[in-house]
Amino acid sequence: MRGHVSRWLVALLGGLLSLQAAADHAAISVRMATVHGGTFESVLPPAPGVKQLTVADFRLDRTPVTNAQFARFVQQHPEWRRDKIAALFADDRYLSQWPSPTEPGSSIRNQPVVRVSWFAASAYCEARGARLPTWYEWEYAAAASATLPDARHDPAWQQIVLSWYSRSASGTLADVGRTPANYYGVQDLHGVVWEWVDDFAGMLVAGDNRQQSDPDSLRFCGPGALTMEQKENYPTLMRIALLSSMQARYTGAAMGFRCAVDARSTAR
């Protein structure tokens, strides 16, 4: 009898666990979209004379992280509250749009969280077992229109992107998920907020300043700084310029983020 009950309990527990696993999996597939990798020509060539680069499969949040989502994070990780955070990790505007250190207020709950530093954005993703996307991942996903994985040379798509950018300059932020899903099912990559990337500090768009004779300009070790290509791609170049001007503790009134994971990862 006893053996019977314990077998029954084990079966029940097992069932509950697999339900939980299925729910976790569903949460992932709802929140993140799979982006199939491939070769790609970035506006930032990986090295002088090298045009093509390869992006591996990854998964990316469908929408930017919202105020409500970020509020749950700071409630669970109080060291990231605006009244607890060390000045090393965020400037003094960090989350200053919230009426309280832990609550964003009902009107902005579904808007992208902004005024977060790179440190805070990274910590949020890490708490989910995820990370910030790299620049190349972000740019790769953002090259897609609703129908094409790389629509950057499609004049109609260029026009849509440009019009989004001219609109985003005005005032309040929209709720996430209002723009059409792209080829991969990702939304809001254009026209909603600027977004942190993991390697924002590595873009080195300053011109090639290595003169062997001048020790001051040997600041960059390696085969030299990058040159930007595809000058018609203004929105992407604007992003690079903005990201390159940031420091990891800076926050911005239109600077948000979303998380990514490698394709095989089990992030939440």
Partner 1 sequence: MKHLALLLLFATRLALGGDAYPPQSIYRLDAHLTNQSGVAHGLDVYAGQPVLITMFYGSCPAACPLLIDTLRAIERAAPPAQRQRLRVIMISIDPQRDSVQSLQELAKTRRIDLSRWTLARADAATVRRIAAVLNVQYRQLPDGGFNHSSVITLLSPRGEIAVQSTVLAKPDAVLLEALSGIP
Q: Which residues bind partner 1 (CB under 8 A)?
A: 46-47, 50, 53, 86-89, 118-119, 122, 126, 131, 198-199, 201-204, 215-216, 218-226, 247-249
State in angstroms the smallest separation of the CB of 145 from partner 1. Answer: 28
CA dist 133 and 179 (Å) reads: 20
Contacts of 239 by beta carbon, 8 Å cutoff, 6+ apart: 194
Q: Which of 237, 236, 208 is nearest to 224 (CA)?
A: 208
State in angstroms the smallest separation of the CB of 119 from partner 1. Answer: 7
State in angstroms the smallest separation of the CB of 126 from partner 1. Answer: 7
Q: Which residues pair with 50 in a beta bridge?
A: 47
* CB 151 within 8 Å of CB 143: yes
Looking at the Cβ atoms of 70 and 118, the one nearer to partner 1 is 118
State in angstroms the smallest separation of the CB of 227 from partner 1. Answer: 12
Looking at the Cβ atoms of 232 and 262, the one nearer to partner 1 is 262
CA dist 48 and 226 (Å) reads: 7
Exposed/middle/buried for residue 14 (C-beta within 10 Å: 0-12, 13-18, 19+):
exposed
Looking at the Cβ atoms of 14 and 46, the one nearer to partner 1 is 46
Looking at the Cβ atoms of 184 and 196, the one nearer to partner 1 is 196
Contacts of 48 by beta carbon, 8 Å cutoff, 6+ apart: 223, 224, 226, 227
State in angstroms the smallest separation of the CB of 198 from partner 1. Answer: 7
